[in-house]
Amino acid sequence: MRADLDIIQAWIAHGSRVLDLGCGQGELLCYLAEHKQVEGYGLEINHDNISACIEAGVNVIEKDIDDGLASIRDGSFDVVVMTQALQVMHRPDLIVDEMLRIGRECIVTFPNFGHWRARGYLGFRGQMPVSKFLPYTWYNTPNIHFCTFKDFERLCIERNIHIRERTVVDHQHRDRWWLRLWPNMLGEIAIYRITR
């Protein structure tokens, strides 16, 4: 399993009710169902991913998260997860609010735009960063709301969101001790565990 998913699954208790926003091919939900008897649903819009989930027996619901989650009741999930999708949302702040409304706890991961490579690219070349990890050019990228760790934490403070845990990994989702020395400069992917 992808290293960030491994970190996330460790934060999810046995038998929880989990909603995975942008669940991809259902890797995390499949693992949680098998190893932790988790009852989960994934939301997804990619057609191939939806078919893959259906065939794997993962509960997948075709839905554009940007349309809102109003049909889901307050506090109806133990954990709401969103991996690598915050930056493609039209209003990341509203989505985080919604996640905290329907889930008792939320886990969010996103790429850190404050990473030294992104800073260097913009600083020296004067162009929006393009890399193997973030391969899009500015005009065709689905990533419309990049932020840094600091930005995200400021949002949490403004909205009274409590950060229970956080960690950073590199672009291969590996946990490296030295990333924690200066996460906003060295970490490539942030993983936050938040509650209201």
Positions that interact with other proteins (CB under 8 A): 17, 39, 41, 47, 50-63, 71-73, 76
Instruction: Specify the residue, 39 or 175, whose C-beta has the smaller distance to other proteins.
Output: 39
Instruction: Specify the residue, 79 or 179, whose C-beta has the smaller distance to other proteins.
Output: 79
Distances (CA, A) of 67 to 89, 94, 160: 10, 11, 24
Shortest distance, position 17 Cβ to other proteins, whole Å: 7
Q: Residue 150 is which amino acid?
A: K
Shortest distance, position 21 Cβ to other proteins, whole Å: 14
Shortest distance, position 76 Cβ to other proteins, whole Å: 7
Q: How far apart are CA 29 and CA 43, in angstroms?
A: 11
Instruction: Specify the residue, 64 or 165, whose C-beta has the smaller distance to other proteins.
Output: 64
Q: Residue 178 is which amino acid?
A: W
Shortest distance, position 30 Cβ to other proteins, whole Å: 13
